[in-house]
Chains A and B, each alone.
Chain A
Amino acid sequence: MDHDTGTAKIYQTQPQGGLAAGSGTFVRVMLGSPVDVVAAVSDRKRADLETRPRRNPLHDSALHEAPTPLEVLSDVESRLGSAEELVARQTLPARDAIPAEEAPPLDSRILEHLQKSGTWPLYRHQAQSISRTLDGEDVVIASSTASGKTLCCTLPVIDAMVRDPGAHALLLYPTKALSQDQHRHLRGVIDGMGLQLETGIYDGDTEPTMRRRLRRSGRIILTNPDMLHASILPNHGGWGALFANLRYVVLDEVHTLRGIFGSHVSAVIRRLRRICRHHGSDPVFIAASATIRNPGEHVGRLIGRDVSVIEDDGSPRGHKEVVLWNPPVVERTDGTLTRRGPTSVAVRLLPELVRRGLRTICFARTRNNVELILRYIRERARGASDREEVASKIEPYRAGYLPMERRRIESSLFDGKLGGVVSTSALEVGIDVGGLDGCIIVGWPGSVCSFMQQAGRAGRRHGESLVFMIAGNDPIDQWFVRHPESLFGSSPENAVIETDNPYIVARHLICAAYELPLTSADDDLLGPGVTAMCTVLQEEKRLREEGGAWYLAREEYPATQVKLRTASEENFTILELGPDNIVGELDYVAAMLSLYEGAIYIHRTETFIVEEMDHVNCLVKIRRTKTGYYTQVLTQKRVTVTEEWDTREVCGARIRLAEVEIRTRLTGYKKVRFHSTENIGYGEVHLPPLELDTVSHEISLDRETVMQSEEHGPGFLRSGMHGVARLFRDLLAIRAMCDPGDIDHHVDDNLIHIFDLYPGGIGYSELGHEQHGEILKDVLEAVVECPCVAGCPSCVLPGASRIESSLESEVMEYPYPKEATRWLLHRLLGLEPYKPELHGVPAPVESPLNPPAPALDERVERKIRKVARLTSRGNRG
Chain B
Amino acid sequence: MRQGKQRLRRVIQKLQSKNTLQSFTPTIPEDVEVDLEGVVSPEVLNQTPEDVMFLDLETTGLRASRSLAAMIGFLYRKGTVLHLSQWYAGDAASERRQLKRLREKMAEFREIVTYNGDGFDLPFLCQRWKWHQLDSECPLISRDLLPLIRKKYRRSWPDCRLVTAEERLLGLPRCEADVPGSEAPLRFQDLREGAPFEVIEPIYLHNRRDLISLVGLRYRLQEEMLSP
Contacts and interface: CB of A to CB of B under 8 A. Distances in A.
Whether A associates with B in a native complex is yes
B16 A542 contact: yes
A860 B19 CA distance: 46
Contacts, number: 97
B65 A235 contact: yes
Contacts of A546: 93-94, 96-97
Contact of B92 (A506, A539, A551, A760): A551
30 contacts: A235-B65, A238-B63, A278-B133, A500-B3, A502-B3, A503-B11, A517-B93, A517-B96, A519-B133, A529-B3, A532-B5, A536-B5, A536-B8, A540-B12, A540-B16, A541-B23, A542-B15, A545-B93, A546-B93, A549-B96, A549-B132, A549-B133, A551-B91, A551-B96, A554-B21, A555-B91, A561-B15, A693-B14, A760-B15, A766-B2
Nearest to A761: B11
Interface in A582-602: none
Interface in A536-590: 536-537, 539-542, 544-547, 549, 551-556, 561
B1 A767 contact: yes
Interface string A62-79: 000000000000000000
The 4 closest A-B pairs by CB, nearest first: A237-B65, A546-B93, A551-B93, A551-B92
B127 to A, nearest CB: 8
Interface string B64-103: 1110000000000000000000000001111011001000
B46 interface: no
A741 interface: no
B192 interface: yes
B155 interface: no
A763 interface: yes
B27 interface: no
A766 B19 CA distance: 25
Kindly state the interface size class of chain B when it binds its partner.
35 or more
Contacts of A529: 3
Contact of B23 (A536, A553, A766): A553
Interface of A, secondary structure class, is mixed
Interface string B5-28: 101110111111011010110000
User: By CB atoms of chain A within 10 A, which of B3, B19, B92, B132 has the most?
Assistant: B92
Contacts of B92: 517, 551-552
A238 B64 CA distance: 10
User: By CB atoms of chain A within 10 A, which of B63, B93, B127 has the most?
Assistant: B93
A492 interface: no
A516 B133 contact: yes
B64 A502 contact: no
A628 to B, nearest CB: 45
A533 interface: yes
A500 B3 CA distance: 9
A240 interface: yes
B8 A547 contact: no
A443 to B, nearest CB: 36
Interface residues of A, number: 42
A568 B50 CA distance: 61
Nearest to A240: B65
Contacts of B7: 502
B131 interface: yes
Contacts of B24: 554
Nearest to A554: B23
A767 B1 CA distance: 7
B19 A561 contact: yes
Contacts of B96: 517, 546-547, 549, 551
Given A516-B131, A555-B192, A547 B97 contact: yes
A507 interface: yes
Contact of B133 (A517, A532, A770): A517
A236 interface: yes
B11 A502 contact: yes
A770 B4 CA distance: 14
A536 B12 contact: yes
B1 A763 contact: yes
Given A506-B11, A556-B19, 12 more contacts: A237-B64, A238-B66, A278-B133, A503-B11, A506-B12, A529-B3, A540-B9, A541-B23, A542-B15, A554-B23, A555-B192, A561-B19
A536 B9 contact: yes
A554 B90 CA distance: 10
Contacts of B13: 540
A656 to B, nearest CB: 16
A482 B93 CA distance: 65
Given A237-B65, A551-B93, A763-B1, A506 B8 contact: yes
Contacts of A235: 65-66
Contacts of A541: 16, 23
Contacts of A763: 1
Nearest to A693: B14
Interface in B21-70: 21, 23-24, 63-66
A278 B24 CA distance: 31
A536 B8 CA distance: 8
Given A236-B65, A237-B63, A551-B92, A507 B1 contact: no
B21 A507 contact: no
Contacts of A767: 1
Contacts of A693: 14
A866 to B, nearest CB: 38
Interface string A751-789: 000000000100100110010000000000000000000
Interface string B182-205: 000000000010000000000000
A273 B130 CA distance: 17
Contacts of A533: 8
A545 B16 CA distance: 18
A539 B10 CA distance: 12
A506 B11 CA distance: 9
B1 A766 contact: yes
A143 to B, nearest CB: 34
Contact of A517 (B9, B14, B18, B132): B132
A675 B18 CA distance: 46
A536 B11 CA distance: 11
Nearest to A521: B133
Contact of B11 (A552, A554, A760): A760
A500 B8 CA distance: 12
A556 B131 contact: no
Contacts of A770: 1-2
User: By CB atoms of chain A within 10 A, which of B12, B13, B100 has the most?
Assistant: B12
Nearest to B192: A555
Contacts of A539: 9
Nearest to B131: A516
A541 B24 CA distance: 12
A507 B23 contact: no
Contacts of A554: 21, 23-24, 91
Given A237-B63, A519-B133, A555-B192, A502 B93 contact: no
Interface string A215-248: 0000000000000000000011110100000000
User: By CB atoms of chain A within 10 A, which of B18, B65, B133 has the most?
Assistant: B133
B91 to A, nearest CB: 7
Contacts of B19: 556, 561
B212 to A, nearest CB: 31
A536 to B, nearest CB: 5
Contacts of B15: 507, 542, 561, 760
Given A237-B66, A549-B132, A553-B23, A760 B14 contact: yes
Interface string B123-153: 0000100111100000000000000000000
Contacts of B63: 237-238
Interface string A497-536: 0001011001100000000110101000000010011001
B21 to A, nearest CB: 5
Contacts of A521: 133
